[in-house]
């Protein structure tokens, strides 16, 4: 079994560049073909074999010494987003959320509306129904903030429902929030949709490292990239039958009352689905301690991940979660390069450790 230096400066830069490319590729749950093409091209470039499931999830395999695929690293490429629920008589669009998030974090967002032609989209802005203080005064501060009180103002000359129909807009069109990623001088990454895509960037960086260094892991490992985590059933299919250990990589919750680290890795003990596997979580904690990786333990009360979807679908595997720190999840999100690197280091160690 080969051993490699965990992360070089070049690998770190590549991971960040890849994350930025993923963030700039819209992928609300249900409309993920474009981002999966990007991910597939990266695996192909590094010679990592992969297949697509009927639903469009991707399973790649890293070589290992075991006869069966014993391990699974699970990440998700889909994000929260919206869908058009009504073409309004005023030439604007009514929305419903795809995934779970508050309309207060959608209000003010720049968006792309995707019609059925995959090569076309229309831009717009999510606006509260009462958007102008000059017109409504204090009412802009007292209006409700639910989805029935926002609408999309599209960037076309429209004022009626018929105008929208002529543009090809329909009920069920996907609406993606524009991410506007920013990398700060202090190493923070601020963007929408870090939830999911930072995990994908970490997994791709691991695949790059192992492939370029021709590492044969102690166990054959699948990397499962799911496309419906945000709506609850991402890892319900696509896993090999013999997986003994599964680690889902997703955001850790940095907020008052939580213990997650924004500049380290978090190993949750439980979420709303229940406790994660006792033995696997303690193994991950031990690896972090032994290698000097900054980590914290936490419990997530309002959270589920691909690990839950896999277990509910009948996967006979130990399951755990590894989290990169995320402030403001499902809103304007923020993580730190050091957190992504800490998660990478922990997963790098886990994948090279025998069961």
**Active-site annotation, residues:** 229
Pick from 235, 267, 261: nearest CA to 334:
261
Q: Which tokens go with 265?
A: 């890795």
Are 272 and 304 contacting, i.e. CB atoms less than 8 angstroms apart? yes
- In angstroms, rounded to a whole number, what is the distance separating the alpha carbons of residues 313 and 216? 30
Residues 6+ apart with CB under 8 A from 310: 74, 235, 236, 239, 246, 248, 317, 319
Helix (H) or strand (E) holding 205: helix 194-212
Query: How many Cβ atoms from other residues are within 10 Å of residue 307's Cβ?
Result: 27
Tell me the CA distances in angstroms from 330 to 131, 194, 219, 327, one per residue in order.
23, 9, 34, 9
- The CA distance from 115 to 312, in Å, is 34
- Which residues, including other chains, have CB under 8 Å from residue 218's CB and lie 6 or more apart? 1, 64, 65, 66, 352, 353, 354, 355
**CB proximity list for 274: less than 8 A, separation 6 or greater:** none
C-beta atoms surrounding 62 within 10 Å: 22
Nearest to 154 by CA among 191, 105, 121, 118: 121
DSSP-derived pairing of the beta strands 295-299 and 81-87: unpaired
Distance CA(96)–CA(308), nearest Å, equals 25
CA distance 80 to 195: 9
69 forms beta bridges with 220
């Amino acid at each position: 079994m080969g051993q490699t230096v965990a992360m070089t400066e070049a690998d770190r830069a590549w991971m960040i560049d890849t994350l930025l490319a993923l963030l700039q590729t819209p992928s609300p749950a249900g409309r993920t073909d474009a981002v999966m093409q990007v991910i597939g091209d990266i695996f192909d470039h590094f010679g990592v074999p992969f297949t697509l499931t009927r639903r469009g999830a991707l399973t790649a395999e890293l070589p290992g010494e075991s006869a069966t695929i014993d391990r699974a690293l699970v990440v998700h490429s889909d994000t929260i987003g919206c869908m058009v629920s009504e073409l309004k008589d005023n030439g604007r669009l009514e929305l419903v959320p795809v995934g779970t998030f508050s309309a207060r974090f959608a209000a003010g967002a720049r968006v792309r509306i995707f019609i059925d032609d995959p090569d076309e989209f229309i831009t717009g802005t999510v606006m509260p129904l009462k958007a102008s203080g000059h017109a409504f005064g204090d009412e802009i501060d007292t209006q409700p903030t639910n989805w029935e009180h926002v609408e999309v103002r599209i960037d076309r000359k429209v004022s009626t429902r018929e105008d929208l129909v002529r543009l090809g807009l329909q009920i069920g069109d996907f609406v993606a929030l524009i991410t506007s990623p920013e990398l700060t001088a202090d190493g923070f990454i601020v963007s929408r949709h870090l939830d999911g895509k930072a995990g994908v960037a970490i997994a791709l960086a691991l695949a790059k490292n192992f492939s370029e260094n021709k590492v044969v892991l102690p166990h054959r490992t699948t990397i499962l990239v799911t496309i419906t985590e945000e709506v609850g059933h991402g890892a319900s299919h696509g896993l090999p039958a013999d997986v003994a250990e599964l680690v889902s990589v997703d955001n850790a919750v940095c907020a008052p009352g939580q213990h997650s680290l924004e500049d380290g890795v978090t190993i949750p003990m439980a979420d709303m689905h229940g406790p994660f596997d006792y033995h696997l979580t303690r193994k991950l904690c031990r690896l972090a301690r032994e290698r000097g990786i900054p980590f914290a333990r936490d419990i997530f009360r309002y959270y589920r991940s691909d690990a839950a979807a896999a277990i509910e679908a009948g996967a006979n595997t130990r399951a755990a979660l590894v989290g990169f720190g995320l402030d403001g999840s499902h809103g304007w999100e923020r993580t730190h390069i050091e957190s992504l690197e800490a998660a990478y280091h922990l997963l790098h160690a886990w994948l090279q450790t025998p069961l």
